[in-house]
Amino acid sequence: MGLDLGAILKTGGLAVSDRTAIVSINIFIALLCSCIVIGHLLEGNRWVNESITALVMGLLTGGVILLATNGTNSRILVFSEDLFFIYLLPPIIFNAGFQVKKKQFFRNFMTIILFGAVGTLISFVIITLGAIGLFKKLDVGPLELGDYLAIGAIFSATDSVCTLQVLNQDETPLLYSLVFGEGVVNDATSVVLFNAIENLDMGHFDAFVLLNFIGKFLYLFFTSTILGVATGLLSAYVIKKLCFARHSTDREVSIMMLMAYLSYMLSMLLDLSGILTVFFCGIVMSHYTWHNVTESSRVTTKHTFATLSFIAEIFLFLYVGMDALDIEKWKLASSSPKEPIALSAIILGLVMVGRAAFVFPLSFLSNLSKKEARPKISFKQQVIIWWAGLMRGAVSIALAYNKFTASGHTAVRVNAIMITSTVIVVLFSTMVFGFLTKPLLTLLIPPRTGPNTSSLLSSQSILDPLLTSMMGSDFDVGQISSPQYNLQFILTAPTRSVHRLWRKFDDRFMRPMFGGRGFVPFVPGSPVEPSDPDSHLGTVTETDHS
Amino acid sequence: MGLDLGAILKTGGLAVSDRTAIVSINIFIALLCSCIVIGHLLEGNRWVNESITALVMGLLTGGVILLATNGTNSRILVFSEDLFFIYLLPPIIFNAGFQVKKKQFFRNFMTIILFGAVGTLISFVIITLGAIGLFKKLDVGPLELGDYLAIGAIFSATDSVCTLQVLNQDETPLLYSLVFGEGVVNDATSVVLFNAIENLDMGHFDAFVLLNFIGKFLYLFFTSTILGVATGLLSAYVIKKLCFARHSTDREVSIMMLMAYLSYMLSMLLDLSGILTVFFCGIVMSHYTWHNVTESSRVTTKHTFATLSFIAEIFLFLYVGMDALDIEKWKLASSSPKEPIALSAIILGLVMVGRAAFVFPLSFLSNLSKKEARPKISFKQQVIIWWAGLMRGAVSIALAYNKFTASGHTAVRVNAIMITSTVIVVLFSTMVFGFLTKPLLTLLIPPRTGPNTSSLLSSQSILDPLLTSMMGSDFDVGQISSPQYNLQFILTAPTRSVHRLWRKFDDRFMRPMFGGRGFVPFVPGSPVEPSDPDSHLGTVTETDHS
């Protein structure tokens, strides 16, 4: 900027210190707009979704910049973990919690925890062991035990963002909540795993360290959840008490946005899992706070959170696409161009095996615990669950950058190969697997009620048994529950009775204090928006109280 | 963070590079929440507004941090021009354009330009000359001609943010639009002035340089406006054409947010005035784009832009309050503690004189051009206009930091004194003048219809003649316009006929292409929200077409 004095004279705005930052912001915003417009135009297309559009746009832009700068630079912004973990991830996860169908989520709570925590650990062990066994055959370079463990953690992180775009909450609400809920717990688990590995004393790895790690994970899980719930309840209480007399939309929306972000940052400050905290904060806010605000605040918050999440998602995929063409890494890794590709293929194989290793056994367990009258989980349905979590995304990239580079730049060849392989895995899984998801879903769940696949009823009628049977916590059959099988009883009874107790507690103490829809008596036939985060709850309340 | 390895093991989120950043963000968000809650509690109070609350909270927090760190540091964030000009200013200015009552704004367009551009230049000349004359009596240090000119530009920037919180758009729409419109033009003028001065060759200051400067200002004004209008129209066209078949709220809101920001950043990129660009983009978006989107998108955008602006404003005042206690500057300046205070008093005096020097003559000009049947602008009403622009704010701070420091830190004594004086002027004018504004308004405009001052009718009935008479561009008296006075004719005729032509052009070509409410026939009695940016327009259309 110092060279450009003539330009400063013309400047109407202040001369901002870094002109390249302005150029980058302009390009990024223009690209975001293009992605949204193209995404809209391709909406009817059965193969392409917004993630793939953003990835391709990022790749193209990276290519153009590469050509324009004669192959010296493809990235406009240097990848920053802070950008990802402080600005982009919170709105995505919060919105997920805010919009998730809570009944579905809590009905499958135990399954989600099993899949998300135990499943991720199984996947982590298999990928780590596989990497130790298979990488040695390739001339990758010196990798230590810590590196292999980190690779296991990096590639255990499924991409909930991409999965959520492929599945539709309204068409397959139960499948959506299961896969998504697993994704959130999976994100938290893999990040905790990764950090624990970074600080493990490899010389003294024994049972005590393992127990210590498990204890810490449980501690993290519960404290993070409690913090999120507490922040959400505080926001509900503040808005209910203070703004009762005179509602002010700006203040209400501000408080909701700020408190949501505060929950995430407080969690970061206290070294907890911000992902879990902000997710539960979102759930509590949609259950209590959202019902205490004015009608316009409800519309505003619902769409604002969705929009911010939408922009953050597109931004992420754009960035990953652009980052894939970073010439610096490719040059370092290209002394043997086959290696990253071979490595990526191995990792992709391990990812698929690792996921199969917990999805199918857990489904089998669920089938064992099922009453005979209810349909078993078919092989096709298991495949959908398995497939939905195969994609790898920004969390893997962020963790890989954290492990194998210092602030986005890498100089050692083995690190360059690992980063490149991660990028290939993310690109391939997102584009190829993402590309195939829509057709696969259509193939595995053939539309029953004519050609309209998006019918809520048809999808639910097929998938409902699949998922509710996993836990058996169906409210409709609550009255006729006879413990035919011990395993089923162990799994279903606590969930159901806890849910019952919770509903009583909620109606008697929580709602009078913190507000919420249940506090206002549910009127059947009252105008409820189809995408209302609580819309199923009202029906449950009715069924439950009848 | 490197010292804290144990904490990282517990970390659920990734260890972010800068832990102090997390602490700062937490404190800032908590303070923002507190300000909103306290602002709500004090809403009935006639002395305090949200700006003053935020300033006081900032001062208190600064004091606490000062005590906690034993007087070494009071600031959590270092003042950054980028933060101010890239993130905080755009939402405030855009929202102002988006929510402004367009009819009032354009009716007073010429007056606004006169006050904003000519007025600011008059104020700038007086403050500069006054500073040259009066500062020499104080032992300030070596100040050059360029420094004095910069001081003139810095203290010519009125604080529209603070003014807007004091005035109420619904109670006094015309006064609001005049003072606010002047504020936007004033911001642009003073920033352009400041940048021009920074690059002036003081050795060759002659008439040619002056003409060149005036030409550049006019060029900047028109190109910036055109860019803003073009971006706004593009957004209207894109949303009208692409999302016509199937409206998607997230996409619409995203496109509106991104295009608004894009207009500002494009303007920065092209070395234009981002403030003007984003302001006119806001006006065009509220006139066309806003009417092309779904009902929920309308509610969402209206409240989201207002909320973002609200948060940015509180953030700014919090920061200014916190920055006021920066011990580094005070230590440097405190070798002679009387000087900053004397300097601030002189500047405040000059600011008041400088503003009086253009408000009262221009009002006199307006009174001369008035028909005898219409009431003249009383002295009391002139005082309100004068008073409303006395406050100085974040633009002054940002410009002062740009001139007198390098990246937020200062080592030279004279610079420290100037920064300190700027902070004192901003604090004093915002708190004391802001404090007195509500009582002053009540005193000067005594409520007519009983004790309820906030009655729309009573305020308008007094202030309407004041402001419309300035330009005489009243649609009601359009039919009986006989040029009784040449001066009046010169001022009123072009505005009125331009407005007529514009309305015809708008109805025939613009609205069919870009949408907008006028495109849909106006139905009298249709449910129009009171704060609808367009609500007055419909009435005009009706009157005009009758």
Could you give the CA distance from residue B5 to residue A199 in angstroms, rounded to a whole number?
A: 7
A44 — contact with chain B (CB < 8 Å)? no
A34 — contact with chain B (CB < 8 Å)? no
> What six digits make up the tokens of B26?
């937490």
pLDDT greater at residue B121 or residue A533: B121
* Chain B residues inside the 8 Å CB shell of A311: 254, 257-258
Mean pLDDT of B189-210: 73
Please classify residue B435 by burial: count the beta carbons closer than 10 Å to its beta carbon, then call 0-12 exposed, 13-18 middle and 19+ buried: middle
Torsion angle (degrees, nearest 10) of CA A272, A275, A280, A283: 160
CATH number for B343: 1.20.1530.20
Q: State whether A269 and B40 contact (CB < 8 Å).
A: no
Q: What is the pLDDT of residues B432-486, one digit of tens each?
A: 887 787 778 778 766 544 444 333 333 333 333 333 333 333 333 333 334 444 5
Q: Which of A63, A91, A8 is nearest to A315 (CA)?
A: A91
Q: State whether B14 and A216 contact (CB < 8 Å).
A: no
The pTM assigned to this predicted structure is 0.77
- Angle, helices A120-135 vs A145-154, to 10°: value is 130
Query: What Å distances lie between residue B200 and A39, B44, B98, B144, B203, CA to CA?
Result: 49, 49, 35, 13, 9
Which chain A residue is nearest to residue B270, measuring alpha carbons?
A: A11
Residue B143 pLDDT grade (very low, low, confident, very high; cuts 50, 70, 90): confident
Q: What is the pLDDT of residues B486-504, one digit of tens each?
A: 555 555 555 566 677 777 8
**Report for A446-450, B168-172, B513-517: range of highest mean pLDDT:** B513-517
Helix (H, G, I), strand (E, B) or coil at A376: coil
Query: What Å distances lie between residue A426 and A12, A347, B67, B173, CA to CA?
Result: 42, 11, 50, 55
- Measured at the CA of A199, the angle between CA A198 and CA A202, to 5 degrees, comes to 95
Give the rounded percent of residues in chain B with a pLDDT score beyond 90: 12
pLDDT at B68: 79
Does a structural domain hold residue B121?
Answer: yes
**Report for A254-263, B153-162, B200-209, B392-401: range of highest mean pLDDT:** A254-263
B81 — contact with chain A (CB < 8 Å)? yes
- Decide if B88 contacts B312 (C-beta within 8 A): yes
For residue B31, the distance in angstroms to the closest alpha carbon of chain A comes to 10
Q: Which of B216, B221, B277, B300 to mutate to test the interface with A (most CBs of A within 10 A)?
A: B300
- Nearest-Å Rg of the Cα atoms of chain B is 24
Q: What residues make up the domain containing B221?
A: 18-442
A60 — contact with chain B (CB < 8 Å)? no
- Angle, helices A379-388 vs A434-444, to 10°: value is 160
Dihedral pair phi/psi, residue B409, rounded to 5°: -120, 145
Strand (E) or helix (H) holding B117: none
- Decide if A256 contacts A289 (C-beta within 8 A): yes
Residues 6+ away with beta carbon under 8 Å from A79: A319, A323, A397, A398, A401, A408
Q: What is the pLDDT of residues B425-443, one digit of tens each?
A: 988 888 888 778 777 877 8
Q: State whether B253 and A307 contact (CB < 8 Å).
A: yes
For residue A383, the distance in angstroms to the closest alpha carbon of chain B comes to 31
Which of B8, B195, B274 has the CB atom closest to A9's CB atom?
A: B195
pLDDT greater at residue A154 or residue B516: A154
pLDDT at A497: 65
| Residue with tokens 């009874």, as numbered in its chain | A493
pLDDT at B376: 58
Which chain A residue is nearest to residue B238, measuring alpha carbons?
A: A37
DSSP B44-108: T-SS--HHHHHHHHHHHHHHHHHHHTTTS---SS---HHIIIIIIHHHHHHHHHHHS-HHHHHHT
Does a structural domain hold residue B211?
Answer: yes
For residue A393, the distance in angstroms to the closest alpha carbon of chain B comes to 16
Residue B455 identity: S
Instruction: Give the number of other CB atoms < 10 A from CB of residue B170.
Output: 13
Does a structural domain hold residue A27?
Answer: yes
* Chain B residues inside the 8 Å CB shell of A9: 195-196, 199, 216
Residue B528 pLDDT grade (very low, low, confident, very high; cuts 50, 70, 90): very low
Q: State whether A254 and B311 contact (CB < 8 Å).
A: yes
B88 — contact with chain A (CB < 8 Å)? no
Query: What Å distances lie between residue B138 and B129, B334, B336, CA to CA?
Result: 15, 15, 11
Which chain B residue is nearest to residue A194, measuring alpha carbons?
A: B14
Could you give the CA distance from residue B523 to residue B543 in angstroms, rounded to a whole number?
A: 13
- Decide if A88 contacts A315 (C-beta within 8 A): yes
| Residue with tokens 């199918």, as numbered in its chain | A360
Helices (H), A100-206: 102-107, 109-113, 120-135, 145-154, 160-166, 173-198
- Decide if B232 contacts B188 (C-beta within 8 A): no
For residue A64, the distance in angstroms to the closest alpha carbon of chain B comes to 20
Query: What Å distances lie between residue B249 and B297, B302, B309, B469, B513, CA to CA?
Result: 5, 13, 21, 43, 21
Q: What is the pLDDT of residues B284-337, one digit of tens each?
A: 999 888 888 888 888 899 999 989 988 988 888 888 788 777 666 666 666 666
B268 — contact with chain A (CB < 8 Å)? yes
Q: Which of A176, A92, A173 is nearest to A437 (CA)?
A: A176
Instruction: Give the number of other CB atoms < 10 A from CB of residue B432.
Output: 14
Dihedral pair phi/psi, residue B303, rounded to 5°: -80, -30
Domain count, chain A: 1
pLDDT at A54: 84
Please classify residue A38 by burial: count the beta carbons closer than 10 Å to its beta carbon, then call 0-12 exposed, 13-18 middle and 19+ buried: middle
Which of B7, B14, B33 has the CB atom closest to A259's CB atom?
A: B33
Give the distance from CA B546 to its chain's centroid. 36
Q: Which of B307, B310, B314, B454 to mutate to test the interface with A (most CBs of A within 10 A)?
A: B307
- Decide if A423 contacts A324 (C-beta within 8 A): yes
Q: State whether B17 and A242 contact (CB < 8 Å).
A: no
Does a structural domain hold residue B457?
Answer: no
pLDDT at B74: 58
> What six digits make up the tokens of A75?
């990235």
Which chain A residue is nearest to residue B37, measuring alpha carbons?
A: A242
| Residue with tokens 């010519």, as numbered in its chain | B156
pLDDT at A274: 84
Q: Which of B35, B191, B254, B402 to mutate to test the interface with A (most CBs of A within 10 A)?
A: B254
Which chain B residue is nearest to residue A32, measuring alpha carbons?
A: B258
Mean pLDDT of B392-412: 72
Q: State whether A299 and B304 contact (CB < 8 Å).
A: no
Q: State whether A216 and B33 contact (CB < 8 Å).
A: no
pLDDT at A351: 92
- Decide if B63 contacts B326 (C-beta within 8 A): no
Which of B30, B242, B402 has the CB atom closest to A40's CB atom?
A: B242
A414 — contact with chain B (CB < 8 Å)? no
- Decide if A61 contacts A27 (C-beta within 8 A): yes
> What six digits make up the tokens of A515?
């507000």
* Chain A residues inside the 8 Å CB shell of B269: 22-23, 26
Does a structural domain hold residue B244?
Answer: yes
B241 — contact with chain A (CB < 8 Å)? no
pLDDT of B147 higher than 60: yes
Q: State whether A37 and B259 contact (CB < 8 Å).
A: no
pLDDT of B372 higher than 60: no
* Chain A residues inside the 8 Å CB shell of B14: 81, 85, 191, 194-195, 398-399, 402
Could you give the CA distance from residue A194 to residue A198 in angstroms, rounded to a whole number?
A: 6
DSSP state, residue B41: H
Q: State whether A10 and B41 contact (CB < 8 Å).
A: no
B247 sits in the region (left: phi over 0; alpha: psi -120 to 50; else beta) called beta
Could you give the CA distance from residue A140 to residue A144 in angstroms, rounded to a whole number?
A: 12
Could you give the CA distance from residue B184 to residue B161 in angstroms, rounded to a whole number?
A: 10
Residues 6+ away with beta carbon under 8 Å from A516: A236, A287, A288, A291, A292, A506, A510
**Number of CB pairs, chain A paired with chain B, less than 8 A apart:** 244
Residues in a beta bridge with B158: B392
Q: Per-residue confidence of chain A (546 residues) as pLDDT tens digits?
A: 222 222 322 333 334 446 777 888 888 899 999 888 888 887 766 666 677 788 888 888 888 877 877 766 656 666 666 777 788 889 988 988 888 777 777 777 777 888 888 889 899 999 999 998 888 777 667 777 888 888 999 999 887 666 666 666 676 666 777 777 888 788 878 877 887 777 666 666 677 777 877 787 778 878 988 999 999 999 998 888 876 555 578 888 999 999 999 999 999 898 888 888 998 899 899 988 888 888 888 889 999 999 998 898 888 888 878 877 766 666 666 666 677 788 889 999 999 999 999 888 887 876 675 555 444 567 777 788 888 888 888 788 888 887 887 544 456 777 878 888 888 898 888 888 877 877 787 787 665 444 443 333 333 333 333 333 333 333 333 333 344 445 555 555 555 666 777 778 888 878 787 877 655 333 333 333 333 343 333 333 333 333
Q: State whether B402 and A14 contact (CB < 8 Å).
A: yes
Helix (H, G, I), strand (E, B) or coil at A192: helix
pLDDT of B513 higher than 90: no
- Decide if A357 contacts A127 (C-beta within 8 A): no
Does a structural domain hold residue A32?
Answer: yes
Could you give the CA distance from residue B225 to residue B219 in angstroms, rounded to a whole number?
A: 10
Could you give the CA distance from residue A15 to residue A9 in angstroms, rounded to a whole number?
A: 9
Does a structural domain hold residue A60?
Answer: yes
For residue A153, the distance in angstroms to the closest alpha carbon of chain B comes to 13
- Decide if B106 contacts B496 (C-beta within 8 A): no
pLDDT at B230: 95
pLDDT, mean over chain B: 72
Which of B17, B238, B271 has the CB atom closest to A11's CB atom?
A: B271
* Chain A residues inside the 8 Å CB shell of B243: 40
Does a structural domain hold residue A51?
Answer: yes
B245 — contact with chain A (CB < 8 Å)? no
- Angle, helices B173-198 vs B145-154, to 10°: value is 160
Q: State whether A224 and B14 contact (CB < 8 Å).
A: no
Q: State whether A13 and B276 contact (CB < 8 Å).
A: no
Could you give the CA distance from residue A508 to residue B197 in angstroms, rounded to a whole number?
A: 68
Instruction: Give the number of other CB atoms < 10 A from CB of residue A306.
Output: 20
| Residue with tokens 């200051």, as numbered in its chain | B205
